Structure 1
Amino acid sequence: MVAKARKTVLESGDWLTTAQIARMAGFGDSNLRSHPNKWKNDEQIFTVRHRGVDYFPRYALDGSIGCRPAKGLASVLSVFHGRKDDWGIAYWFASVNSFLGGKRPQDLLLDQPDRVIAAAEDEVTGVVHG
């Protein structure tokens, strides 16, 4: 089941290699990979690893700021830190979310980051009974 879920996520077309991002963002040839990897190390973006290759989420890159990580993504990653691994985060972004009115977080990240952050907080809070 896990293999099928990973295959579905990867085949969605929402994933880019480091080199693809570097070309899209117009980074110089001398150090194509440094920026995306720095973003990952600084927890501004996440990757999923498949067959030894890191894949970055295309939906998390904001073309209006030069294909840099979306402004709200670091906050979402902070909410999930220690609670979800990278694949768990990828599944969450790709899944329909009732807190977001049946939309996927990845579809709202660029335009409505505050709603996506709130949905992430709701996800980790879980059901609260009173």
Structure 2
Amino acid sequence: MELARNYLSGQAVQSALGIDAATLTVWRKQRRLLAVWHRPINEWLYPDFQFRDNALIREMPDLLAVYETYYSHVWKNTWGIVEWFMSPHLLLDSERPVDVMARDPQQVLTVARTEFLQDPSTFW
């Protein structure tokens, strides 16, 4: 509940991005932007950290594609993706990806690719 308080409704995202409901649905299903199902209100909500200046952060679709490659099962519960963004990360000097997204989304994408796409045996 606490996290979702600042998340955007579908209507707010449509207004900010200048798109209609059908386009938003297509983008959500294509995983171009992150949406979480918020059961208390029975509505998709869109985490605010993926937007800046009334636009989707350019790296967001690529970040979600990295998730698709490694964690395709999390799309049944996208709150797991939100958890990754909200948790301190060693490769970001223990900063949370959500905080780094605000200033350097490319760095977050690089970390996600390192974590999810590289052979884990190369880290030893």
TM-score (normalised: structure 2): 0.76
DSSP 3-state at the match of 1:99 = helix
Counterpart selection for 2:25 from 37, 45, 51: 37
Residue identity in the other structure for 2:113: E
Give 1:8 deviation, angstroms. Answer: 4.3
Which of the two has greater helix per residue?
Answer: 2
Task: Give me the TM-score of the superposition, normalised by structure 1.
Answer: 0.73
Find the aligned partners of 2:37 and 2:106 in 1 and give their Cα distance: 27
Moved over 4 A (4+): none
Alpha-carbon contact 2:10-2:45 (below 8 Å) kept: yes
Show the counterpart of 1:76. Answer: 63
In structure 2, stretches of 5+ residues that fail to align are none
Residue number in structure 1 paired with 2:3: 9
- Aligned length, in residue pairs: 115
Q: Report the secondary structure of 1:49's partner residue.
A: strand
CA-atom RMSD in angstroms: 2.3
Q: Is the 8 Å Cα contact of residues 70 and 110 (structure 1) preserved in structure 2?
A: no
Percent identity among equivalent residues?
19
- Per the alignment, in what secondary structure is the counterpart of residue 34 of structure 2? coil
